[in-house]
Amino acid sequence: MGGPLAIEGGAPVRRSLLPYGHQKIEEEDIRAVTEVLRSEWITTGPKVAEFEGALAAQVGAKHAVSFSSGTAALHGAVSAAGLGPDDEAVTTPMTFCATANCVFYAGARPVFADVSPDTLNLDPAEAARRVTPKTKALIAVDYAGHPADLDALRALASRKNLVFIEDACHALGARYKEHPVGGIADMTVFSFHPVKHITTGEGGMVATNDENLACRLRGFRNHGIAGDVRERQLQGQWHYDMTDLGFNYRLPDVACALGLSQLRRLDDNLARRREIARQYIAAFCGLPGLRTPEVRPDALPAWHLYPIRVEAGKFKTDRAGFFSALRAEGIGVNVHYIPVHFHSYYRDHLGYKAGEFPVAEAAYDQLISLPLFHGMEPQDVADVIEAVRKVASHFAAG
Ligand SMILES: *Cc1c(COP(=O)(O)O)cnc(C)c1O
Protein backbone atom coordinates (compact mmCIF):
# COMPACT_ATOMS: atom_id res chain seq x y z
CA MET A 1 0.00 0.00 0.00
CA GLY A 2 1.16 3.57 -0.75
CA GLY A 3 4.10 2.65 -2.99
CA PRO A 4 7.76 2.76 -1.96
CA LEU A 5 8.73 4.61 1.22
CA ALA A 6 9.96 8.19 0.84
CA ILE A 7 13.06 7.21 2.81
CA GLU A 8 13.84 4.73 0.01
CA GLY A 9 13.24 7.25 -2.76
CA GLY A 10 9.46 6.99 -3.13
CA ALA A 11 7.01 9.92 -3.14
CA PRO A 12 6.33 11.27 0.38
CA VAL A 13 2.78 11.35 1.74
CA ARG A 14 3.14 15.13 2.05
CA ARG A 15 5.69 17.72 0.90
CA SER A 16 5.63 20.16 3.85
CA LEU A 17 6.60 18.78 7.26
CA LEU A 18 3.60 18.62 9.59
CA PRO A 19 4.81 19.60 13.11
CA TYR A 20 3.85 17.52 16.17
CA GLY A 21 2.32 20.60 17.83
CA HIS A 22 1.50 24.16 16.80
CA GLN A 23 -0.31 27.24 18.08
CA LYS A 24 -3.49 28.62 16.54
CA ILE A 25 -3.90 32.41 16.59
CA GLU A 26 -7.18 34.01 15.48
CA GLU A 27 -7.99 37.63 14.54
CA GLU A 28 -9.79 38.09 17.88
CA ASP A 29 -6.51 37.22 19.68
CA ILE A 30 -4.66 39.87 17.68
CA ARG A 31 -7.38 42.44 18.47
CA ALA A 32 -7.18 41.63 22.20
CA VAL A 33 -3.39 42.08 22.23
CA THR A 34 -3.52 45.27 20.16
CA GLU A 35 -6.04 46.76 22.58
CA VAL A 36 -3.62 46.24 25.48
CA LEU A 37 -0.71 47.67 23.49
CA ARG A 38 -2.74 50.88 23.08
CA SER A 39 -3.64 51.00 26.79
CA GLU A 40 -1.94 52.39 29.88
CA TRP A 41 -0.60 49.07 31.22
CA ILE A 42 1.38 46.66 29.09
CA THR A 43 2.79 44.67 32.00
CA THR A 44 1.15 44.08 35.40
CA GLY A 45 -2.21 45.76 34.80
CA PRO A 46 -5.86 44.69 34.90
CA LYS A 47 -5.50 41.77 32.46
CA VAL A 48 -3.34 39.74 34.87
CA ALA A 49 -6.03 39.34 37.53
CA GLU A 50 -8.67 38.88 34.84
CA PHE A 51 -6.76 36.02 33.21
CA GLU A 52 -5.95 34.45 36.59
CA GLY A 53 -9.62 34.61 37.63
CA ALA A 54 -10.81 33.11 34.36
CA LEU A 55 -8.29 30.26 34.51
CA ALA A 56 -9.06 29.50 38.17
CA ALA A 57 -12.77 29.29 37.31
CA GLN A 58 -12.02 27.07 34.30
CA VAL A 59 -10.04 24.51 36.34
CA GLY A 60 -12.17 24.64 39.49
CA ALA A 61 -9.56 26.20 41.79
CA LYS A 62 -9.98 29.10 44.24
CA HIS A 63 -6.77 30.84 43.15
CA ALA A 64 -4.48 30.97 40.14
CA VAL A 65 -1.16 32.81 40.00
CA SER A 66 0.40 33.57 36.61
CA PHE A 67 4.10 33.18 35.79
CA SER A 68 6.33 34.02 32.83
CA SER A 69 6.55 30.31 31.86
CA GLY A 70 5.46 26.87 33.00
CA THR A 71 9.01 26.34 34.22
CA ALA A 72 8.88 29.53 36.34
CA ALA A 73 5.52 28.32 37.67
CA LEU A 74 7.12 25.00 38.70
CA HIS A 75 9.91 26.95 40.41
CA GLY A 76 7.25 28.96 42.24
CA ALA A 77 5.42 25.80 43.30
CA VAL A 78 8.46 24.04 44.81
CA SER A 79 9.45 27.24 46.58
CA ALA A 80 5.95 27.79 47.97
CA ALA A 81 6.08 24.16 49.12
CA GLY A 82 9.11 25.16 51.20
CA LEU A 83 11.68 22.92 49.48
CA GLY A 84 15.26 23.74 50.35
CA PRO A 85 18.72 22.19 50.73
CA ASP A 86 18.66 18.61 52.11
CA ASP A 87 15.05 18.11 51.01
CA GLU A 88 13.92 15.63 48.38
CA ALA A 89 11.00 15.56 45.96
CA VAL A 90 9.80 12.32 44.34
CA THR A 91 8.91 12.66 40.67
CA THR A 92 8.68 10.80 37.35
CA PRO A 93 11.47 10.30 34.82
CA MET A 94 8.93 10.23 31.95
CA THR A 95 8.66 13.99 31.52
CA PHE A 96 10.27 17.13 30.20
CA CYS A 97 13.37 17.94 32.27
CA ALA A 98 11.79 21.15 33.67
CA THR A 99 9.62 19.03 36.04
CA ALA A 100 12.72 17.81 37.87
CA ASN A 101 14.97 20.83 37.25
CA CYS A 102 12.77 23.01 39.47
CA VAL A 103 13.74 20.85 42.45
CA PHE A 104 17.41 21.69 41.81
CA TYR A 105 16.49 25.40 41.56
CA ALA A 106 15.30 25.19 45.17
CA GLY A 107 18.59 23.58 46.20
CA ALA A 108 16.83 20.25 46.83
CA ARG A 109 17.24 16.84 45.21
CA PRO A 110 14.87 15.20 42.71
CA VAL A 111 14.32 11.47 43.31
CA PHE A 112 12.77 9.48 40.49
CA ALA A 113 10.23 6.67 40.77
CA ASP A 114 9.10 4.43 37.93
CA VAL A 115 5.84 4.82 36.01
CA SER A 116 2.79 2.60 35.41
CA PRO A 117 2.99 0.59 32.18
CA ASP A 118 -0.43 1.68 30.84
CA THR A 119 -0.43 5.49 31.27
CA LEU A 120 3.33 6.06 31.83
CA ASN A 121 2.30 8.22 34.81
CA LEU A 122 4.05 8.09 38.20
CA ASP A 123 3.26 4.71 39.82
CA PRO A 124 1.98 5.43 43.37
CA ALA A 125 3.53 2.22 44.77
CA GLU A 126 6.93 3.04 43.23
CA ALA A 127 6.66 6.63 44.51
CA ALA A 128 5.92 5.32 48.03
CA ARG A 129 9.06 3.14 47.85
CA ARG A 130 11.21 6.22 47.17
CA VAL A 131 9.90 8.34 50.05
CA THR A 132 12.50 8.94 52.80
CA PRO A 133 12.45 11.15 55.92
CA LYS A 134 13.90 13.90 53.66
CA THR A 135 11.03 13.83 51.17
CA LYS A 136 8.98 17.01 51.25
CA ALA A 137 7.04 16.97 47.98
CA LEU A 138 5.55 14.69 45.38
CA ILE A 139 5.54 15.99 41.79
CA ALA A 140 3.34 14.03 39.37
CA VAL A 141 2.95 14.70 35.66
CA ASP A 142 -0.23 14.10 33.64
CA TYR A 143 1.71 12.49 30.80
CA ALA A 144 0.31 13.26 27.32
CA GLY A 145 -2.71 14.86 29.01
CA HIS A 146 -3.92 11.74 30.86
CA PRO A 147 -4.42 12.61 34.56
CA ALA A 148 -2.03 10.88 36.95
CA ASP A 149 -3.33 8.49 39.62
CA LEU A 150 -4.43 11.50 41.64
CA ASP A 151 -6.38 9.85 44.50
CA ALA A 152 -3.61 7.37 45.30
CA LEU A 153 -0.92 10.05 45.06
CA ARG A 154 -2.90 12.47 47.21
CA ALA A 155 -3.39 9.72 49.80
CA LEU A 156 0.37 9.01 49.78
CA ALA A 157 1.12 12.72 50.16
CA SER A 158 -1.19 13.13 53.14
CA ARG A 159 0.06 9.90 54.77
CA LYS A 160 3.69 11.06 54.50
CA ASN A 161 2.97 14.76 55.03
CA LEU A 162 4.19 15.81 51.57
CA VAL A 163 3.11 18.74 49.42
CA PHE A 164 1.45 17.33 46.31
CA ILE A 165 2.35 19.25 43.12
CA GLU A 166 0.76 18.24 39.82
CA ASP A 167 2.63 19.24 36.66
CA ALA A 168 -0.43 19.53 34.42
CA CYS A 169 1.39 21.26 31.56
CA HIS A 170 -0.08 18.54 29.31
CA ALA A 171 -3.49 18.49 30.91
CA LEU A 172 -5.33 21.83 30.82
CA GLY A 173 -8.96 20.79 30.47
CA ALA A 174 -8.46 17.15 31.52
CA ARG A 175 -10.82 15.54 34.02
CA TYR A 176 -10.25 12.95 36.72
CA LYS A 177 -13.33 11.21 38.16
CA GLU A 178 -15.45 14.08 36.79
CA HIS A 179 -13.30 16.76 38.47
CA PRO A 180 -11.27 19.17 36.37
CA VAL A 181 -7.51 18.90 36.81
CA GLY A 182 -6.55 22.03 38.76
CA GLY A 183 -8.39 21.76 42.07
CA ILE A 184 -7.18 18.30 43.15
CA ALA A 185 -3.47 18.56 44.06
CA ASP A 186 -2.14 21.16 46.52
CA MET A 187 -0.77 23.06 43.52
CA THR A 188 -1.38 22.39 39.83
CA VAL A 189 0.97 23.84 37.21
CA PHE A 190 0.03 24.78 33.63
CA SER A 191 2.07 26.00 30.65
CA PHE A 192 1.02 28.30 27.81
CA HIS A 193 3.88 27.44 25.47
CA PRO A 194 2.73 27.47 21.81
CA VAL A 195 2.45 23.66 21.59
CA LYS A 196 0.06 23.51 24.57
CA HIS A 197 -3.76 23.80 24.63
CA ILE A 198 -3.76 27.60 24.80
CA THR A 199 -0.81 29.94 24.39
CA THR A 200 0.50 33.27 25.63
CA GLY A 201 3.81 32.89 23.71
CA GLU A 202 5.56 31.97 26.94
CA GLY A 203 3.59 31.70 30.15
CA GLY A 204 2.42 29.53 32.99
CA MET A 205 0.05 29.36 35.97
CA VAL A 206 -0.20 27.68 39.35
CA ALA A 207 -3.73 26.84 40.52
CA THR A 208 -4.40 26.18 44.20
CA ASN A 209 -7.21 26.17 46.74
CA ASP A 210 -4.86 27.27 49.51
CA GLU A 211 -4.87 31.03 50.21
CA ASN A 212 -1.53 30.83 51.99
CA LEU A 213 0.20 29.10 49.06
CA ALA A 214 -1.35 31.59 46.61
CA CYS A 215 0.07 34.45 48.66
CA ARG A 216 3.56 32.92 48.65
CA LEU A 217 3.35 32.29 44.90
CA ARG A 218 2.38 35.94 44.24
CA GLY A 219 5.31 37.19 46.28
CA PHE A 220 7.76 34.74 44.69
CA ARG A 221 7.04 35.89 41.13
CA ASN A 222 7.52 39.54 42.11
CA HIS A 223 10.93 39.66 43.88
CA GLY A 224 9.45 38.53 47.19
CA ILE A 225 7.55 41.81 47.52
CA ALA A 226 3.94 41.85 48.71
CA GLY A 227 1.59 43.78 46.38
CA ASP A 228 2.53 45.29 43.01
CA VAL A 229 3.50 48.65 41.49
CA ARG A 230 0.05 49.30 40.03
CA GLU A 231 -1.68 48.73 43.38
CA ARG A 232 0.74 51.14 45.05
CA GLN A 233 0.32 53.73 42.31
CA LEU A 234 -3.47 53.50 42.51
CA GLN A 235 -3.31 53.87 46.30
CA GLY A 236 -0.73 56.69 46.14
CA GLN A 237 1.78 54.72 48.24
CA TRP A 238 5.55 54.50 47.91
CA HIS A 239 6.44 52.08 50.69
CA TYR A 240 6.94 48.37 50.05
CA ASP A 241 8.67 45.56 51.90
CA MET A 242 10.62 42.68 50.42
CA THR A 243 9.95 39.82 52.81
CA ASP A 244 11.48 36.88 50.89
CA LEU A 245 13.96 36.36 48.09
CA GLY A 246 11.89 36.15 44.91
CA PHE A 247 12.28 36.57 41.17
CA ASN A 248 10.82 38.62 38.35
CA TYR A 249 8.62 35.91 36.88
CA ARG A 250 5.66 38.15 36.00
CA LEU A 251 3.45 37.48 32.99
CA PRO A 252 2.74 40.82 31.25
CA ASP A 253 -0.72 42.21 30.45
CA VAL A 254 -0.04 41.78 26.72
CA ALA A 255 0.39 38.02 27.25
CA CYS A 256 -2.57 37.79 29.66
CA ALA A 257 -4.83 39.44 27.06
CA LEU A 258 -3.76 36.78 24.57
CA GLY A 259 -4.35 34.07 27.19
CA LEU A 260 -7.85 35.37 28.01
CA SER A 261 -8.76 35.41 24.34
CA GLN A 262 -7.33 31.91 23.79
CA LEU A 263 -9.05 30.55 26.92
CA ARG A 264 -12.45 31.32 25.36
CA ARG A 265 -11.69 28.67 22.74
CA LEU A 266 -10.24 26.05 25.14
CA ASP A 267 -13.36 23.84 24.99
CA ASP A 268 -13.31 23.91 21.17
CA ASN A 269 -9.59 23.11 21.17
CA LEU A 270 -10.14 20.16 23.52
CA ALA A 271 -13.03 18.86 21.43
CA ARG A 272 -10.88 18.99 18.28
CA ARG A 273 -7.98 17.20 20.02
CA ARG A 274 -10.34 14.48 21.31
CA GLU A 275 -11.79 14.04 17.84
CA ILE A 276 -8.32 13.58 16.32
CA ALA A 277 -7.38 11.09 19.06
CA ARG A 278 -10.61 9.19 18.31
CA GLN A 279 -9.71 9.04 14.61
CA TYR A 280 -6.21 7.80 15.39
CA ILE A 281 -7.52 5.07 17.69
CA ALA A 282 -10.01 3.93 15.06
CA ALA A 283 -7.30 3.91 12.37
CA PHE A 284 -4.55 2.18 14.33
CA CYS A 285 -6.31 -0.27 16.67
CA GLY A 286 -6.14 -2.99 14.03
CA LEU A 287 -2.44 -2.53 13.23
CA PRO A 288 -0.47 -5.30 14.95
CA GLY A 289 2.70 -4.13 16.72
CA LEU A 290 1.50 -0.56 17.27
CA ARG A 291 0.23 0.22 20.75
CA THR A 292 -2.06 3.24 21.03
CA PRO A 293 -2.31 5.23 24.32
CA GLU A 294 -4.50 3.62 26.96
CA VAL A 295 -7.21 5.60 28.76
CA ARG A 296 -8.35 4.57 32.22
CA PRO A 297 -12.11 4.56 32.84
CA ASP A 298 -11.88 7.36 35.45
CA ALA A 299 -9.95 9.73 33.13
CA LEU A 300 -10.90 12.21 30.44
CA PRO A 301 -7.52 13.14 28.89
CA ALA A 302 -6.75 16.54 27.38
CA TRP A 303 -4.65 14.93 24.59
CA HIS A 304 -1.58 17.15 24.52
CA LEU A 305 0.38 14.32 22.87
CA TYR A 306 -0.49 11.19 20.95
CA PRO A 307 2.37 8.79 21.79
CA ILE A 308 2.20 5.41 20.07
CA ARG A 309 4.54 2.55 20.97
CA VAL A 310 6.33 0.54 18.28
CA GLU A 311 6.47 -2.83 20.02
CA ALA A 312 9.81 -4.61 20.10
CA GLY A 313 10.24 -7.43 17.60
CA LYS A 314 6.93 -6.82 15.83
CA PHE A 315 8.41 -5.07 12.78
CA LYS A 316 11.43 -5.52 10.53
CA THR A 317 12.73 -2.27 12.02
CA ASP A 318 12.87 -0.58 15.40
CA ARG A 319 11.56 2.75 16.71
CA ALA A 320 14.46 4.66 15.12
CA GLY A 321 13.69 3.14 11.70
CA PHE A 322 9.99 3.89 12.10
CA PHE A 323 10.78 7.45 13.18
CA SER A 324 13.05 8.23 10.20
CA ALA A 325 10.58 6.69 7.76
CA LEU A 326 7.71 8.84 9.09
CA ARG A 327 9.85 11.98 8.98
CA ALA A 328 10.71 11.28 5.35
CA GLU A 329 6.97 11.01 4.61
CA GLY A 330 6.55 14.61 5.90
CA ILE A 331 5.20 13.70 9.33
CA GLY A 332 6.97 15.69 12.08
CA VAL A 333 7.05 12.97 14.70
CA ASN A 334 8.86 13.46 17.98
CA VAL A 335 9.86 11.40 21.04
CA HIS A 336 8.40 12.22 24.47
CA TYR A 337 10.46 11.63 26.47
CA ILE A 338 14.08 10.73 26.87
CA PRO A 339 13.80 9.68 30.56
CA VAL A 340 15.18 12.58 32.60
CA HIS A 341 17.75 10.43 34.45
CA PHE A 342 19.40 9.65 31.08
CA HIS A 343 20.46 13.30 30.57
CA SER A 344 24.16 13.93 31.29
CA TYR A 345 23.42 16.52 33.95
CA TYR A 346 21.34 13.99 35.90
CA ARG A 347 23.85 11.18 35.42
CA ASP A 348 26.64 13.49 36.66
CA HIS A 349 24.75 14.99 39.60
CA LEU A 350 22.60 12.12 40.83
CA GLY A 351 24.49 9.06 39.62
CA TYR A 352 21.48 7.32 38.10
CA LYS A 353 22.25 4.45 35.72
CA ALA A 354 20.30 2.78 32.94
CA GLY A 355 18.13 -0.02 34.30
CA GLU A 356 16.86 1.73 37.43
CA PHE A 357 13.43 2.53 36.01
CA PRO A 358 12.63 -0.40 33.72
CA VAL A 359 9.07 0.59 32.77
CA ALA A 360 9.98 4.15 31.72
CA GLU A 361 13.13 2.97 29.94
CA ALA A 362 11.37 0.21 27.99
CA ALA A 363 8.65 2.67 26.94
CA TYR A 364 11.25 5.20 25.82
CA ASP A 365 12.69 2.65 23.37
CA GLN A 366 9.28 2.36 21.69
CA LEU A 367 7.68 5.83 21.85
CA ILE A 368 6.83 8.03 18.88
CA SER A 369 4.58 11.10 19.27
CA LEU A 370 2.36 11.66 16.25
CA PRO A 371 1.28 15.21 15.35
CA LEU A 372 -1.68 16.31 17.48
CA PHE A 373 -2.89 19.90 17.78
CA HIS A 374 -6.24 21.63 17.57
CA GLY A 375 -5.34 23.51 14.36
CA MET A 376 -4.85 20.29 12.35
CA GLU A 377 -6.92 20.20 9.18
CA PRO A 378 -8.79 17.01 8.20
CA GLN A 379 -6.20 16.49 5.44
CA ASP A 380 -3.37 16.67 8.02
CA VAL A 381 -5.01 13.92 10.07
CA ALA A 382 -5.55 11.84 6.94
CA ASP A 383 -1.88 12.28 6.01
CA VAL A 384 -0.70 11.04 9.42
CA ILE A 385 -2.96 7.99 9.18
CA GLU A 386 -1.84 7.23 5.63
CA ALA A 387 1.84 7.59 6.52
CA VAL A 388 1.62 5.39 9.62
CA ARG A 389 -0.22 2.67 7.68
CA LYS A 390 2.26 2.91 4.81
CA VAL A 391 5.30 2.61 7.07
CA ALA A 392 3.73 -0.12 9.24
CA SER A 393 2.77 -2.26 6.25
CA HIS A 394 6.19 -1.81 4.67
CA PHE A 395 7.97 -2.99 7.80
CA ALA A 396 5.39 -5.63 8.78
CA ALA A 397 7.14 -8.78 9.99
CA GLY A 398 6.61 -12.10 8.26
C1 LIG B 1 5.82 22.42 28.59
C2 LIG B 1 6.17 21.71 29.84
C3 LIG B 1 6.85 22.33 30.91
C4 LIG B 1 7.47 23.70 30.80
O5 LIG B 1 6.66 24.68 30.41
P6 LIG B 1 7.28 26.00 29.74
O7 LIG B 1 6.09 26.90 29.68
O8 LIG B 1 7.79 25.61 28.38
O9 LIG B 1 8.34 26.52 30.62
C10 LIG B 1 7.01 21.64 32.10
N11 LIG B 1 6.59 20.38 32.23
C12 LIG B 1 5.99 19.73 31.21
C13 LIG B 1 5.54 18.32 31.44
C14 LIG B 1 5.79 20.36 29.99
O15 LIG B 1 5.22 19.69 28.98
Ligand 1 pocket, mutate which of 74, 102, 146, 169 (most atoms under 8 A from CB): 169
Could you report the per-residue pLDDT of 197-232, keeping only the tens digit for each?
A: 999 999 999 999 999 999 999 999 999 997 777 888
* Atom 6, ligand 1: residue with shortest CA distance: 70
The minimum-distance atom of ligand 1 relative to the CA of 304 is: 15
Q: Give the residue whose CA is nearest to atom 7 of ligand 1.
A: 70
Atom of ligand 1 nearest to the CA of 141: 13
Q: Judge if the beta carbon of residue 193 lies within 6 A of ligand 1.
A: yes
Q: Give me the percent of the chain exceeding a pLDDT of 70.
A: 99
List Cβ neighbours of 195 (8 Å cut-off, separation of 6 or more): 20, 21, 22, 23, 304, 373
- 106-143 pLDDT tens trace: 999 999 999 999 999 999 999 999 999 999 999 999 99
- Residue 202 CA, ligand 1 centroid: distance in Å: 10
Instruction: Please say if 353 is a catalytic residue.
Output: no
What pTM was estimated for this model as a whole?
A: 0.97
Q: Summarize the confidence of residues 258-278 as an average pLDDT.
A: 98
Q: Is the pLDDT of residue 398 over 70?
A: no
pLDDT of residue 1: 55
Q: Residue 62 above 70 pLDDT?
A: yes
pLDDT tens across 300-325, in order?
999 999 999 999 899 999 999 999 99
Cβ of residue 272 lying under 6 Å from some atom of ligand 1: no
User: From the CA of 87, how far away is ligand 1's center (Å)?
Assistant: 23
**What confidence tens digit (pLDDT) does each residue in 321-350 have?**
999 999 999 999 999 999 999 999 999 999
Residue % of the chain over a pLDDT of 90: 93
> Which atom of ligand 1 is nearest the CA belonging to 191?
7
Domains and CATH numbers, the chain: 6-19+266-395 (3.90.1150.10), 27-263 (3.40.640.10)
Task: Given the residues 47, 136, 196, 390, select the one marked as catalytic.
Answer: 196
Ligand 1 in reach of 95 Cβ (< 6 A) = yes
Q: Which of 71, 181, 334 to mutate to test the pocket of ligand 1 (most atoms within 8 A of CB)?
A: 71
Give the per-residue pLDDT at 53.
Answer: 98
Give the mean model confidence (pLDDT) for residues 170-186: 98
